[in-house]
Amino acid sequence: METAVITGGSRGIGRAVAAAFVEHGTHVVVCGRDGDELDRVAAAVDPAGEAVTAIRADVRDEFDVERLMESAARAGEAGGIDCVVANAGVYHGSPGGTPIEEASYSAFDDTLRTNVRGAFATVREAIPHLTPDARVLVPSGRIAREAMAGYGVYAVSKAATEALVRQFAAEMTWPIAIVDPGQVETELTGYAKGRDPDDVAPMFRWAATEADPETLDGNVVGFREWKNATR
């Protein structure tokens, strides 16, 4: 049985992706900062209690992430990690209502520590445990490439995260991709009108298992590319 690690797995895209992976027979290790919420997600996604391992971890703490990956590598039957979805992220304030000139230093620091450094720690600590055919996926959005007023530090963090993915792609063996599902209705986006997380979750499963690894590596894979490849 394959093993996938999903950070930020207690809600939104992370929760939906976890459910999609379990549905296809993958053992999923979900992490987040709220242990009780993770347990509720695990029970909902996997009532039998066999396919989901919930581990409380904060991606801002590299020692938490190190322990997460060590535990995840032992969770599946075959050992090792076959897929990592570095999904954990924060947005301080109301999406579209956080101009960068008004950002506090604390919000700036925590956004980058979570969204950028957290993604860095997630990939870095997973590397020793990745199986030969493993893949790494990092969600992002158009805001990383097309600046829009009001998205401030969050936009900066996503642009930096995409640069991080490209650098990892240039230097490591395993394919790593930026997955852009478009606008999705989640708590992080303020439930702005968009796609349901359950509707985009299969896109991550496709990127993790079926998409051409050379096409993925270091690139942005969007909703259109997924639909064109699977229609």
Q: Quick one: what percent of the chain has pLDDT higher than 70?
A: 96
182: helix, strand or coil: coil
Number of domains in the chain: 1
Above 80 in pLDDT, residue 188?
no
The parent domain of residue 16 ranges over: 3-230
Say what the pLDDT of residue 190 is: 59
Q: Which of 68, 76, 85 is nearest to 3 (CA)?
A: 76
The CATH number linked to 78 is 3.40.50.720
Tens of pLDDT, residue by residue over 39-70, are 999 999 888 888 999 999 999 999 999 999 99
Tens of pLDDT, residue by residue over 58-103, are 999 999 999 999 999 998 777 899 999 999 999 999 888 999 999 9
Banded pLDDT at 189 (limits 50, 70, 90): low
